């Protein structure tokens, strides 16, 4: 099933037009899709298009963040046809003995990304430990989870955990919903957030090695934190633009941004604002990057858009160009990527599919009960950004 609309827009820098498609939807009163994110298997001599592989969790609507299964689908013709979602048994929850009790542990908040050096589609996310009754366990051990896609048989490897150097400090640490950056030498800059004892959550960037099978911690940078009554900093995402690394960060009260010269060590965080000095209005929700050689863009949700009826104002989903020197969002470039229909759109992903297209994927999260009265139906959206000029940053090795 597919619904398509077209929006045209031209801006200074990275001119583009937008289109929107719905390859699948799920809402039966008991569950819906969550966290749809995609990665590519690039062009080969035998293929005229890359394979785009999407993963997503089922969300149990009877609880909070209950993810009992991961599913996958793919397209080999740039979205003209998608395979039906298939249950990914290798990425399913498993049971672990924690403090003498068998707990279900799920891999979730997953994000596939192509690793050019090893020619591997690597997905990263984090683990969630539940009680035997499928309620989130606190305090809980949490790890970065990762898995490798096997294109020959259209399967994912069983998920593994990234081993961190300090078990006590990083007892609750993971890369859920984060956008990573792969360096030219094959090492990976993977942002994570973690919660030390007697502290709220902090953010750091881990440099990892990856040989096509094992993801290993090499070092991590400085720790970014905030001293207030919030839960701290969460869900960081990284990109690189014109030689500078940019990190965008979720917080209960507002979104934050920081920059780095080496990708590991970041300046003090500052609040995201529009170029007129007003606050962006994003809070308690992730933001991610779209990086084109002609311009840097931020994807976000915010309040102040006639959306007070939406949970945490998490719809519509916006895109706007960033002033990379002033570290602000240019208000008059703001566009709606995905419209608001009552359901939240705060958990989304970004995929560079080719030099000419970037895709943003998101699902209508059908909580709380009754959001469907505004028109939402559990749709999974693919918002396509069609670039006028090729993205010279696009490379697959």
Residue 140: exposure state from Cβ atoms within 10 A (0-12, 13-18, ≥19) = middle
Judged against a pLDDT cut of 70, whether residue 183 lies above it is answered with yes
233-251 per-position pLDDT tens digit: 999 999 999 999 999 999 9
The arrangement of secondary structure in 5-9+21-387, i.e. its CATH architecture, is: 6 Propeller (2.120)
Q: pLDDT (tens digit, 9 = 90+) per residue, 158-174? A: 999 999 998 889 999 99
Burial (Cβ within 10 Å: 0-12, 13-18, ≥19) of residue 108: buried
Nearest alpha-carbon partner for 316 in 334, 297, 338: 338
Q: What is the pLDDT of residue 6?
A: 29
**pLDDT bracket for residue 395 (50, 70, 90):** confident
Confidence of residue 342 (pLDDT cuts 50, 70, 90): very high
- On the question of pLDDT at 2 being above 70, the answer is no
Q: How far apart are CA 307 and CA 315, in angstroms?
A: 7
Q: What is the pLDDT of residue 46?
A: 65
Looking at residue 5, its pLDDT comes to 33
For the chain, give every domain's residue range. 5-9+21-387
* Cβ pair 42, 61 in contact under 8 A: no
Give the rounded percent of residues in the chain with a pLDDT score beyond 90. 89
Among the ranges given (3-12, 85-94, 219-228, 292-301), the one the predictor scored with the smallest mean pLDDT: 3-12
Give the range among 95-104, 182-191, 251-260 with minimum mean pLDDT. Answer: 95-104
Predicted pLDDT at 198: 85
Q: What is the pLDDT of residues 65-79, one digit of tens each?
A: 999 999 999 999 999
pLDDT digits (tens, 9 = 90+) for 116-142: 999 999 999 999 999 999 999 777 899
pLDDT at 139: 74
Torsion angle, alpha carbons of 271, 202, 236, 242, to 10: 70
Q: What is the mean pLDDT of residues 78-88?
A: 97
Tell me what the mean pLDDT of segment 11-39 comes to.
92
């Amino acid at each position: 099933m597919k619904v398509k609309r077209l929006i045209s827009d031209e801006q200074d820098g990275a001119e583009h037009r937008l289109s929107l498609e719905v390859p699948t939807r799920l809402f039966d009163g008991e569950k819906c899709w969550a966290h749809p994110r995609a990665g590519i298997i690039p062009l080969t001599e035998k293929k005229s298009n890359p394979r785009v592989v999407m993963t997503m969790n089922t969300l149990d609507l009877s609880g909070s963040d209950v993810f009992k299964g991961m599913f996958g689908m793919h397209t080999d013709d740039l979205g003209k046809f998608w395979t039906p979602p298939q249950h990914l048994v290798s990425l399913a929850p498993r049971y672990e003995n924690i403090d003498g009790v068998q707990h279900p542990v799920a891999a979730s908040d997953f994000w596939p990304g192509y690793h050019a050096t090893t020619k591997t589609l690597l997905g990263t996310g984090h683990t969630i430990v539940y009680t035997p009754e499928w309620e989130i366990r606190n305090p809980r051990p949490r790890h970065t989870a990762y898995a490798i896609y096997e294109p020959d048989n259209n399967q994912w490897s069983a998920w593994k955990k990234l081993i961190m150097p300090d078990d006590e400090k990083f007892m609750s640490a993971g890369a859920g919903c984060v956008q990573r950056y792969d360096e030219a030498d094959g090492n990976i800059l993977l942002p994570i957030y973690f919660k030390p004892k007697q502290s709220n959550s902090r953010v750091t960037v881990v440099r990892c090695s990856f040989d096509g099978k094992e993801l290993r911690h090499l070092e991590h940078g400085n720790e970014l934190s905030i001293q207030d009554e919030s839960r701290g900093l969460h869900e960081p995402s990284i990109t690189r633009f014109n030689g500078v690394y940019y990190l965008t960060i979720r917080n209960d009260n507002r979104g934050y941004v920081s920059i780095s010269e080496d990708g590991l060590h970041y300046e003090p965080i500052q609040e995201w604002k529009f170029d007129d000095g007003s606050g962006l209005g994003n809070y308690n929700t992730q933001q991610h990057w779209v990086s084109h050689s002609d311009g840097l863009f931020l994807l976000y949700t915010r309040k102040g858009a006639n959306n007070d009826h939406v949970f945490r104002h998490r719809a519509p989903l916006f895109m706007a160009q960033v002033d990379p020197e002033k570290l602000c969002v240019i208000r008059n470039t703001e566009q709606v990527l995905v419209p608001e229909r009552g359901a939240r759109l705060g958990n989304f992903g970004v995929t560079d599919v080719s030099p000419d297209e970037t895709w943003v994927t998101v699902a209508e999260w059908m909580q709380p009960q009754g959001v469907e009265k505004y028109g939402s139906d559990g749709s999974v959206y693919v918002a396509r950004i069609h670039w006028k000029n090729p993205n010279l940053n696009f490379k697959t090795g």
